[in-house]
């Protein structure tokens, strides 16, 4: 059997729709994309490659922290249940989620890698981590230089000055980062959820309120995580610290909600085993206990009030000041 001319550059970068992989031949680079039912191949001649651009992605640490906290809270629910099957379920699923977060952190920061030729720009999806990018460049650079040749080090200054130095022009004006309104939206959702949490324990007909909270509370968590993930594009800082503290309260509410659900499920299973009517669904009653509902509404109201005040103050501080313009006098 003839030996393959290809050398594997990356492992398989897997996604829900399939995977992708890079292979290196003596004269070209091969990009494989598989959708599990069909494979697509792109060949890039080493002589045609003009540049390989690698950019690092924003830090995923806020999202990883949120996922780790949720996974730990999910595993702690095992302490609130007595049936061994439920304990194993919460420990196993929470442990898998925690292991995936730890693996994501261990793989290092993410990146995007683009390959440029004279007629195209292609995203190399298998190169999605900085560690992988360094390993790929270490193998790809000698192969490209063997085909295209290399420039001696002593000629690089003159080459850069002749080809890459831009003409002397005035420096462009600095563009100030404009704060977004996503943190204000998060604080607004806090207020709305606080009002509905209070209604869920004060009203007699609570089914519609509880159904709303089941969908709005996860949305609150997602909005807070997205706001923290995009904090690098916002010059404000204190409001994101407040959102990070609020995530602890959201995690605490999530644990309480899971405890109430597990308690209701145990009652339903016990009633079914004894032939009695099942207890009332949690969607027809308050999803929190009365004391916890007041506490959850209180911290959300406080976080929203402080958050709106901080957002207004920091937005005013971060607002770029218009530079004075000299107006010539009319003669």
Give the pLDDT confidence score for residue 330 in this predicted structure.
47
DSSP string, 146-191: HHH----GGGHHHHIIIIIPPPP-PPPPPPPPPP-SHHHHHHHHHH
* Residue 87 domain boundaries: 58-108
- For residues 94 and 58, give the distance between their C-alpha atoms in angstroms, rounded to a whole number: 26
- For residues 290 and 294, give the distance between their C-alpha atoms in angstroms, rounded to a whole number: 7
The pLDDT tens digits for 105-156 are 888 888 999 999 988 899 898 998 999 999 999 998 888 888 887 766 665 5
154 lies in some domain: no
Stated pTM of the model: 0.51
- For residues 42 and 28, give the distance between their C-alpha atoms in angstroms, rounded to a whole number: 10
Alpha helices in the chain (DSSP H): 61-76, 84-106, 130-148, 156-159, 182-202, 207-229, 238-273, 290-318
Q: Are residues 126 and 210 in the same domain?
A: no
**Residue 20 scores a pLDDT above 70:** yes
**Rg for the chain (alpha carbons), in Å?**
28
Q: Are residues 255 and 223 in the same domain?
A: yes
Q: Among 147, 171, 194, give the residue marking a domain's end.
A: 147
Asked if residues 314 and 237 have their Cβ atoms less than 8 Å apart, the reply is: yes
158 lies in some domain: no
DSSP string, 201-233: HH-S--HHHHHHHHHHHHHHHHHHHHHHHTGGG
- For residues 275 and 18, give the distance between their C-alpha atoms in angstroms, rounded to a whole number: 48
The pLDDT tens digits for 189-212 are 998 888 888 888 787 776 677 777
- For residues 99 and 92, give the distance between their C-alpha atoms in angstroms, rounded to a whole number: 10
35 lies in some domain: yes
The domain total for the chain is: 3
Q: Are residues 122 and 195 in the same domain?
A: no
- For residues 21 and 43, give the distance between their C-alpha atoms in angstroms, rounded to a whole number: 12
Q: Which of these, 149, 257, 265, 277, lies nearest to 210 by C-alpha position?
A: 257
The pLDDT tens digits for 49-65 are 888 999 988 888 877 88
């Amino acid at each position: 059997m003839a030996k393959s001319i290809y050398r594997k550059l990356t492992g398989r970068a897997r996604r829900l729709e399939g995977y992708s992989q890079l292979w290196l031949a003596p004269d070209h680079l091969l990009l494989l994309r598989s959708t599990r039912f069909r494979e697509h191949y792109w060949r890039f001649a080493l002589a045609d490659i003009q540049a390989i651009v690698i950019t690092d992605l924003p830090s995923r640490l806020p999202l990883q922290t949120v996922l780790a906290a949720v996974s730990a809270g999910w595993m702690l629910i095992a302490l609130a249940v007595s049936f061994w099957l439920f304990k194993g379920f919460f420990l196993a699923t929470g442990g898998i989620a925690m292991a995936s977060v730890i693996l994501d952190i261990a793989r290092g920061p993410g990146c995007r890698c683009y390959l440029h030729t004279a007629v195209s720009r292609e995203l190399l999806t298998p190169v999605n981590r900085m560690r992988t990018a360094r390993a790929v460049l270490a193998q790809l650079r000698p192969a490209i230089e063997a085909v295209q040749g290399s420039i001696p080090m002593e000629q690089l200054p003159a080459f850069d000055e002749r080809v890459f130095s831009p003409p002397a022009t005035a420096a462009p004006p600095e563009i100030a980062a404009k704060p977004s309104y996503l943190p204000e939206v998060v604080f607004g959702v806090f207020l709305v959820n606080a009002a509905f949490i209070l209604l869920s324990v004060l009203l007699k007909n609570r089914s519609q309120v509880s159904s709303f909270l089941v969908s709005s509370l996860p949305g609150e968590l997602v909005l807070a995580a997205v706001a923290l993930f995009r904090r690098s594009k916002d010059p404000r800082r204190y409001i994101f610290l407040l959102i990070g503290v609020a995530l602890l309260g959201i995690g605490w509410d999530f644990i309480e909600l899971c405890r109430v659900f597990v308690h209701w499920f145990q009652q339903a299973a016990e009633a079914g085993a004894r032939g009695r009517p099942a207890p009332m669904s949690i969607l027809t009653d308050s999803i929190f206990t009365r004391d916890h509902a007041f506490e959850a509404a209180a911290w959300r109201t406080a976080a929203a009030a402080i958050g709106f005040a901080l957002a207004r103050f920091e937005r005013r501080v971060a607002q770029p000041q218009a530079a004075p313009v000299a107006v010539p006098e009319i003669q």
